[in-house]
Every structure is written in structure tokens, then in C-alpha cells.
């Protein structure tokens, strides 16, 4: 890769770290937000749920990125982060903070498909997994670096000032991205790539590889979030863990995500993307099935959860690399559709995970997640049957 491209990848990875931190910090700091805004904890979880729903709006921002330009949409995402956090800092009461955090979360929905499409257009397919794997480390980085750093800031300068700091960093990103990312060409490419908005959305279902990948993302996201939403309850009930131990388990999940992203960067291109995804799915299915058996002690249970999230993250990040090539004339549309259907899957998984936990404990959750992952594997195989990349 050329030096300018390397600088661009480093810069957008940092920008994504900011956006990911802006969305994910609400989870661990929900009690602090509840106290700071003087509202019940349920009011904060409503912000989380609404923020997740913004991923559905990506169905429309992705096609816009294909038409208007990738840099423009990246700047828009950073502007939404800065504006949303500024609103939270200026008016630190519930409804302004609700609106501000949802707006900031929408910034990630706008930014992510644009950067994936930018990589798909500028990075050769033979190196795609390496670059996307590197950029996706910003997801784990938000857990391992961004959120702990924000926790220190919260403890020293308070809630409102923390919002101002995130707004300032988002503004710096909005300004500096102009110097890093080259200007957009009209229509982000040649004239023939200008695909009408509604036609782009319809292609997501009409193009078999795209439809199969969307279904794949939906099923495996249900599987993963079904476990994610109950693993804390499992640890508390089965092993009587403290809040400190639960916090450590979150760090373990972040480490698993980072490992999965790193493995994609190192081995995704060498294995071949399709083969790598199928391998990751197979490992995830085995990890889900074995989890009730190996989770007899806390260290083994945490090891099992680590393996599940490692396999899932490796599979998901590698699938990003492949998805950027399924609709080359509408890359951002494809990626926004993938994010949207995966978001629906995550919301579905959160809803059914608790019910499965009440019904049959960790066995019901883990084995059902294995079944959903099998459906994801079948969807992938169906969608990519006979698919060949166009040169």
C-alpha cells in the first residue's frame, strides 16, 4: 500500500474509535448517567435501544454515500458526533441528552458504510481483509481504551465536561479529515456507477450474494446478542461473581474482539475470505455447543465466552471484507444494508435471550445460538453458491 493510503487508514481508525466510544460508553456508564441526570436506570436503557434503532436508517445513508461521496458522509458522521455531544454538554438534562446521544450514535451509522466502501474502492481485494481487520480494531479499542479513558475523564471533570471533550475530539476529526481523505469524485466514481436510490435498495434483495449475506448477518447477530445479554446473569447466578469480576469479563470480551480482528488482518486474505468465514462459523457453532459443558467453573466459563466472541468477531470482520465486493457499484449501499439487518438481529437477540434464559438457562441460550449460527452458515452458502468476483 502507498504511504498516503496508510495515513488514511490510521486516521479513519482513530475516527472510528471516537464514534464507537460515543456509542458504547452508555452501556457501562448507564448507572452514572442515571445518577447524573436524576432519572431511573430504565430511562437510560431507552437511550441505548433508540441508539441501536438508528442502524436501520443506514439503509438510506448508504445509497446516499454511493451518490454524494464517501468523504462527505464521513464528515457528516463526525459532525453528528460533535453536535450530539455538544448538545449533551450544553443542556445536561434527560431529553437533550437523549436526543444528543441518539444523534451522536447516528453519526456512527452514517460513517461506517462510507469508510468500508472507501476501503473497498481503494484497497485491492487481495489485501482487503488485512486493512478492514486493522480498521475494525477500533471496535475492540473502544472497550479496551476509549471507555476506560472516558471513565477517568468522568471521574475527574464530571459528566458535562466529558461530553464537551467528545464534542471537541469529534470537531477535530471533522476538520482534519479534509486533509487526510481525498475529495470525492462526482457520484464517487464513473458515471455508470450512479445507481438510483430505490434501485440500490432493491438490489440488496434481488442480488443473490447480497441477500444471502444480509441473512447471514441477521442470524449470527441474533445468536451472539442472545448470549451477550444474559452472560452477566449467568455469571452472577452460577458463580456469585462481584461487579469487579463482571467488569473484568467485559475486558475479556474486548480482548476476544481484538484477537478476532487481528486474526482477520493476518489470515483472512491468506485463507480466502469465503473459506475463512466458513471456518469462523464452524468454530463459533462448536463454541456455543460446548459452552454448557465446559462452563462448570468461572475461569472455564470465561474461557468459553472468550472463544465464542473471538470466533464471532473473526467471522463478522472477515464478512465485511467480502461484502465490500458483492455489489461493486454500490458498496456503501451493501454495507449499510448489512449493518441494518445485523442491527435488527442484535435487537431480536436481546429480546429472545432473556426469554431463553428463563426457559432453560445457559443450555437453552447457547444451543439456540448454535442453531441460529447454522442458519447463518446455510444462508452464506446459498448466497455465495456460484459467485465469482469480477475483475
Residues 143 and 247 reside in one and the same domain:
no
One domain for residues 32 and 146 = yes
Specify whether 167 is located in the same domain as 94: yes
Q: What is the mean pLDDT of residues 302-307?
A: 92
Q: Which of 159, 193, 227 is the last residue of a domain?
A: 193
Summarised one tens digit per residue, pLDDT across range 105-114 is 999 999 998 9
Distances (CA, A) of 162 to 154, 165, 167, 211: 6, 5, 9, 41
Pair 156, 295 in one domain = no
What would the mean pLDDT of 296-319 be, rounded to a whole number? Answer: 92
The greatest distance separating any two alpha carbons of the chain, rounded to the nearest whole angstrom, comes to 62
Distance CA 142, CA 180 (A): 22
Q: Residue 13: inside a domain, yes or no?
A: yes
- Residue 184's alpha-carbon distances to 90, 123, 212, in angstroms, are 33, 16, 30
CATH number at residue 124: 1.20.1250.20
- Quote the CA–CA distance of 96 and 84 in Å, as a whole number: 9
Look at residue 147 in the predicted model and tell me its pLDDT: 83
125: DSSP letter: G
Q: Determine the straight-line distance between the first and last CA of the chain, rounded to whole angstroms.
A: 19
Tell me the percentage of the chain whose pLDDT exceeds 70. Answer: 93
d(CA 53, CA 48): 9
pLDDT score of 372: 98
- In a domain, residue 390? The reply is no
Q: Give residue 379's domain range.
A: 197-384
Grid cell 469529534 in the structure block, residue: 170
Same domain as 271, residue 341: yes
Whether this model's pTM surpasses 0.85: no
Residues 105, 233, single domain; the answer is no
Taking alpha carbons only, the member of 378, 227, 238, 372 closest to residue 300 is 238
Residues 135, 226, single domain; the answer is no
Highest average pLDDT, of 115-124, 212-221, 319-328, comes from 212-221
Question: Do both 251 and 360 map to the same domain?
Answer: yes
pLDDT higher than threshold 80 for residue 288: yes
Same domain, 148 and 12: yes
Cell of 190: 464513473
Residues 130 and 159 in one domain: yes
Residue 100 DSSP SS3: helix
pLDDT over 70 (residue 14): yes
- Tell me: pLDDT of 315 over 50: yes
Question: Same domain, yes or no, for 278 and 336?
Answer: yes
Q: Distance (Å, rounded) from C-alpha 94 to C-alpha 386? A: 52
Q: Convert the pLDDT of each residue in 137-190 to its tens digit.
A: 998 888 888 888 888 888 888 888 999 999 999 999 999 999 999 887 655 444
Is 221 a domain residue?
A: yes
- Answer whether residue 389 is part of any domain: no
Residue 380's alpha-carbon distances to 171, 218, 276, 328, 342, in angstroms, are 39, 11, 12, 18, 14
Given 193, 225, 256, the domain boundary residue is 193
Which residues fall within 8 angstroms of residue 344, CB to CB, at 6 or more apart? Answer: 55, 56, 218, 221
Residue 241 domain flag: yes
Closest CA to 135 of 212, 201, 202, 74: 74
Q: How many domains does the chain have?
A: 2
Contact in structure between 292 and 367 (CB atoms under 8 Å):
yes
Q: Looking at the structure, tell me whether residues 135 and 33 fall in a common domain.
A: yes
**Eight-class DSSP state of 35:** H
What count of other Cβ atoms lies within 10 Å of the Cβ of residue 242?
A: 10
Checking if the pLDDT of 283 tops 90, the result is yes
- Is residue 223, in this structure, part of any structural domain at all? yes
Which of 72-76, 228-232, 258-262, 278-282 has the weakest average pLDDT?
A: 228-232
Q: What share of the chain is helix, strand, coil (3-state, %, to 5)?
A: 90, 0, 10
CA distance 216 to 383: 9
pLDDT at residue 191, rounded to an integer: 43
Residue 223 pLDDT > 50, yes or no?
yes
User: Of 147, 62, 83, whose CA–CA distance to 323 is shortest?
Assistant: 62
Of the candidates 129, 163, 193, which is a domain's last residue? 193
388 secondary structure, DSSP code = -
pLDDT of residue 188: 47
> Does the residue 279 lie in any domain?
yes
Over residues 306-312, mean pLDDT: 94
Does 202 score more than 80 pLDDT? no
Q: What mean pLDDT, rounded, does the chain reach? A: 87
> Is residue 155 assigned to a domain?
yes
pLDDT digit string, tens, across residues 23-56:
888 877 777 888 889 988 778 878 877 887 887 8
Whole-number pLDDT of residue 244: 60
- Cα–Cα dist 132/16, whole Å: 12
What pLDDT is recorded for position 196?
Answer: 55
The pLDDT value given to residue 12: 92
**Residue 309: closest CA among 225, 214, 238:** 225
Q: Containing H/E element for 174? A: helix 147-180
Here the cell at position 295 is 462452563
Amino acid at each position: 500500500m502507498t504511504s498516503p493510503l496508510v495515513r488514511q487508514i490510521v486516521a479513519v481508525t482513530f475516527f472510528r474509535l471516537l464514534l464507537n466510544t460515543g456509542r458504547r460508553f452508555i452501556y457501562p456508564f448507564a448507572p452514572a448517567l442515571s445518577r447524573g441526570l436524576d432519572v431511573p436506570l430504565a430511562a437510560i436503557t431507552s437511550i441505548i435501544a433508540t441508539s441501536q434503532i438508528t442502524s436501520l436508517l443506514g439503509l438510506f445513508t448508504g445509497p446516499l454515500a454511493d451518490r454524494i461521496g464517501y468523504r462527505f458522509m464521513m464528515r457528516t458522521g463526525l459532525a453528528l458526533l460533535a453536535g450530539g455531544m455538544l448538545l449533551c454538554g450544553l443542556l445536561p438534562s434527560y431529553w437533550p441528552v437523549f436526543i444528543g446521544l441518539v444523534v451522536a450514535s447516528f453519526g456512527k451509522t452514517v460513517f461506517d458504510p462510507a469508510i468500508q466502501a472507501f476501503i473497498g474502492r481503494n484497497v485491492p481485494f487481495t489485501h482487503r481483509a488485512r486493512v478492514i481487520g486493522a480498521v475494525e480494531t477500533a471496535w475492540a479499542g473502544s472497550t479496551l481504551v476509549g471507555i476506560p479513558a472516558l471513565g477517568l475523564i468522568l471521574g475527574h471533570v464530571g459528566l458535562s465536561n466529558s461530553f464537551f471533550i467528545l464534542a471537541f475530539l469529534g470537531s477535530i476529526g471533522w476538520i482534519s479529515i479534509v486533509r487526510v481523505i481525498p475529495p470525492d469524485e462526482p457520484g464517487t466514481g464513473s458515471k455508470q456507477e450512479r445507481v438510483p436510490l430505490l434501485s440500490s435498495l432493491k438490489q440488496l434483495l434481488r442480488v443473490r450474494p447480497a441477500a444471502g449475506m444480509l441473512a447471514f448477518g441477521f442470524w449470527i447477530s441474533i445468536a451472539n446478542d442472545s448470549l451477550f445479554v444474559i452472560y452477566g446473569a449467568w455469571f452472577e447466578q452460577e458463580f456469585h461473581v462481584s461487579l469487579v469480576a463482571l467488569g473484568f469479563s467485559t475486558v475479556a470480551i474486548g480482548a476476544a474482539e481484538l484477537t478476532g480482528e487481528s486474526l482477520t488482518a493476518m489470515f483472512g486474505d491468506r485463507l480466502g475470505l469465503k473459506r475463512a468465514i466458513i471456518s469462523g462459523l464452524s468454530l463459533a457453532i462448536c463454541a456455543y455447543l460446548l459452552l454448557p459443558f465446559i462452563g462448570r467453573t468461572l475461569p472455564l466459563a470465561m474461557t468459553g465466552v472468550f472463544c465464542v466472541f473471538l470466533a464471532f468477531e473473526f467471522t463478522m470482520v472477515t464478512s465485511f471484507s467480502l461484502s465490500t465486493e458483492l455489489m461493486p457499484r454500490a458498496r456503501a449501499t451493501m454495507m449499510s444494508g448489512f449493518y441494518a439487518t445485523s442491527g435488527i438481529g442484535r435487537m431480536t437477540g436481546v429480546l429472545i435471550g432473556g426469554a431463553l434464559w428463563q426457559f432453560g438457562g445457559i443450555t437453552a441460550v447457547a444451543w439456540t445460538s448454535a442453531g441460529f449460527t447454522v442458519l447463518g452458515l446455510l444462508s452464506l452458502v446459498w448466497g455465495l453458491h456460484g459467485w465469482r468476483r469480477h475483475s
